Structure 1
């Protein structure tokens, strides 16, 4: 049972949580995640306890959206409106092609000097996933990588330089010969 006056604190629940299996979600009757199970053990004592941490305050400041960004289209909305200074985290996976005779590229794009002239933002890798908030300068989504090929995932985060809609696209000015798309998961938190 969760009390409204205990936001941000631990609360009692009936979820199974044992040593080694904590960290799972706690749902309310409407199917919303309201907490995370935590198993507490105090060395040197007999005290062990399973509790849930109330994350409603955290979740109330968090927006999550996902979208497929089509390589054959220009700027596309991801589904999040952010305020200036908001932290935005992006996760991108999948492959797209920037020309019919070229191999597929992931969100990190390709590093080829001859193709730089075709980039929307020449300072960023050609055919990479680029994102912007409102009319701000686009950023590349390729800070950290896991995996390779179509199973690779890129992770990036930045502070929104202005207030506006989060938009993404391929860094390619010639869209007619592109195909495929990337799945983008966006998270913003104040």
Structure 2
């Protein structure tokens, strides 16, 4: 029996990759939906978009908690060896901000929606309990916080995608490949 610790894979495990891409697709749907739903006139299309936005937000929150738990307990690959020290720090900061925002943003939306007095039906399966009593001033405040966090999240998405494309197309390293297929190309 070997006393060596188990090796850390070069690429991300399947569960991490699936969680990453499902969360990414949800976020890439939530951002435009969040921008559009307030521009629509009151009525069924707007209500349907609000319901979808809330349901996807809850899904993102739950999946992000699962992904964070998995991240803290599973074997995880080291950062790509070709990264410079500042890129390693930037990557860590961006990923930590993502984990925080992907959990806090839906909670803020839930709180704001509760203060507004609307219910949150999750894919028509169940309703979340209200986190606070109806309060118009609190709803306005927390929806504004939700907006700021949403724009912050959108900015992080742009940075994250730009960095992944830079590594794939310019540096031609394995940063993106490890999240796509789970192993280095070499």
Does the alignment reach a TM-score above 0.5? no
TM-score scaled by length of structure 1:
0.23
Q: Give the helix-richer structure, 1 or 2.
A: 2
Q: Give the strand-richer structure, 1 or 2.
A: 1
TM-score scaled by length of structure 2:
0.23
Q: Which entry has the higher C-alpha Rg, 1 or 2?
A: 1
